[in-house]
Amino acid sequence: MSLWMTIITASVAVLALKLIGYVVPRSFGEHPTVQNASSILTIALLASLVTTQTLGSATGFALDARVVAIVLAGVLLWLRAPFIVVVIAGAASAAVLRATGLMP
Amino acid sequence: MDATTRRTVSMGLGVSLAVSMYGVSFGALSVASGLDVWQTQVLSLLMFSGGSQFAVIGLVAAGASGFSAIASAALLGVRNTLYAVTIAPTVGGGFWRRIVAGHWTIDESTAVSIAQDDVRHKRLGFWITGAGIFVGWNLMTFVGAILGDALGDVRAYGLDAAAAAAFLGLLWPRLSGRDPIAIAVVAAVVTAWALPSLPPGVPVLVAAAVGLVAGLWLKRGRP
């Protein structure tokens, strides 16, 4: 599948999911199991994406400067730092560790 | 403008400004992941949902199949369906108005809307936040994509670590209570276990399935 195909298909799917919410009966969205499943799915996917982005590599798995960056990001979030500060600190810490040769 | 309206407007604009700022990081990370400036911009214009957009570029960068990228983006987009159901009655009628409202139904516009006390302010909060983020997020995406294009080797700038931090930032507000933390830990452990053995993109889908089963099991018998 070409990259453009992936981008357009994924975008249309996400847009369609939003629009569906305006036509399904209200009772469906208010069903507790549906609400639970939706919030569980969001948490599980985001946690998995954090892990993939921190440990994933061309060979499958790698421990490098990203691990230090994610720990720092966690500490900053715990201290209620704004999102943009967390993202920049994550990038900066990994960049410094690599520039100084401390970690790959 | 009365005090309540002023509060709604400033809340909507404040949220829009904050969210738009990290459109820069999305734009830069997207071109670092191998998308061009136009592909990056189409994601912000058409998909317009931060979590799903980051999922697509993260999985493309990891070399995942198109199917994994599409499935992950769609699964993350399911919550928008529920937001739409919740706020549909407050948005008002008209076909085109509902199409635009649907497009702008995201975490932040929903959050600002439901935080207001009456229907008039709920509607105002939704439209201000939706429009503010749509314009700001797309402008900042473009800025980030142009900047990212000029950067070159992105690992040297730690942009791969920035993506990890961005996902953690999206996850963090949802980790309130024991169950969400347990679900996140299960999904993370399953992913780490699956990364070396399964093709790129597949661990995310496996973790979503295991997380869903674990989460529903934790919740059994409780309201």
- Please write the tens of the pLDDT for every residue from A63-88: 999 999 999 999 999 999 988 889 89
Average pLDDT over residues B24-38: 92
Give the HSE-up count for residue A8: Cα atoms under 13 Å, Cβ half-sphere: 6
Distance CA A75, CA B205 (A): 28
- Please write the tens of the pLDDT for every residue from B81-94: 989 988 888 887 78
Our CA-based measurement puts residue A11 at a distance from the nearest CA of chain B, in whole angstroms, of 4
**Structural domain includes residue A83:** yes
**Residue B16 to residues A5, A84, B99, B108, B111, Cα–Cα distance (Å):** 30, 13, 20, 8, 12
In this complex, do B80 and A86 lie within 8 Å of one another by their Cβ atoms?
no
Q: Kindly indicate the confidence band of residue B209, based on its pLDDT and cuts at 50, 70 and 90.
A: very high
**What is the number of domains present in chain A?**
1
Check whether B39 has a pLDDT greater than 70: yes
Same structural domain for residues B19 and B107?
yes
Distance CA A15, CA B47 (A): 6
Neighbour tally for B153: CB within 10 Å:
8
- Please write the tens of the pLDDT for every residue from B105-124: 999 999 889 888 899 999 99
* Chain B CB contacts of A10 below 8 Å: 47, 52, 56, 69-70, 73-74
Interface list for A 70-89 with B (CB within 8 A)? 70, 73-74, 77, 82-84, 86-89
At B18, the amino acid letter reads: A
**What is the number of domains present in chain B?**
2
A17 closest CB neighbour out of B18, B77, B214 = B77
Name the residue range of residue B194's domain. Answer: 175-223
**Structural domain includes residue B89:** yes
Check whether B71 has a pLDDT greater than 90: yes
